[in-house]
């Protein structure tokens, strides 16, 4: 699906996958999350990339998104997500090659200069 302006939504849920037993000692895994990237079409949302992980840190999410980009997908024009620090950090790192702190500073500077 080709679009001139591409907006994606990224979110995760932890309620779909049961914890797994890791060893014969019945140790349970941490919560297992389903991460999903979707795009909106006139007929609904289309999932375009998914990851299942028990990690929910910036590095893991960034690695997933970077691998998606390396598969030939273009950087989206807009990303919608919640205020998860790990998700925000991963999105800015993977799609803008900036830390979250640098991204916020650039946005702030752009807004201030635009007012002048």
Domain limits, the chain: 7-115
Query: What CATH number does the domain located at 7-115 have?
Result: 3.30.420
So what's the pLDDT on residue 42? 86
pLDDT category, 103, cuts 50, 70, 90?
very high
Distance between CA 30 and CA 51 in Å, rounded? 16
So what's the pLDDT on residue 106? 96
So what's the pLDDT on residue 1? 52
Both tokens of residue 105?
């500073």
The DSSP line for 18-31 is ---B-STT-PBP--
So what's the pLDDT on residue 3? 66
Looking at the predicted structure, is the pLDDT value of residue 63 above 70? yes
Distance between CA 108 and CA 105 in Å, rounded? 5
Q: Quote the DSSP letter at residue 76.
A: P
Taking all residues of the chain, what is their mean pLDDT, rounded to a whole number? 92
Distance between CA 81 and CA 89 in Å, rounded? 11
pLDDT category, 54, cuts 50, 70, 90?
very high
Distance between CA 70 and CA 25 in Å, rounded? 39
Cβ–Cβ < 8 Å for 17, 36: no
Does the reported pTM lie above 0.85? yes
């Amino acid at each position: 699906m080709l679009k001139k302006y591409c907006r994606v939504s990224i979110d995760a849920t932890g309620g779909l996958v049961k914890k797994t037993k890791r060893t014969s000692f019945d140790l349970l895994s941490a919560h297992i999350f389903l991460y999903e990237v979707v795009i909106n079409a006139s007929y609904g949302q289309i999932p375009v990339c998914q990851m299942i992980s028990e990690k929910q840190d910036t590095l893991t999410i960034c690695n997933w998104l970077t691998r998606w980009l390396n598969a030939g997908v273009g950087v989206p024009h807009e990303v919608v997500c919640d205020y998860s620090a790990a998700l925000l950090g991963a999105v800015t790192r993977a799609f803008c090659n900036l830390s979250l702190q640098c991204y916020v500073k650039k946005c702030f500077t752009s807004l201030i200069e635009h007012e002048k």
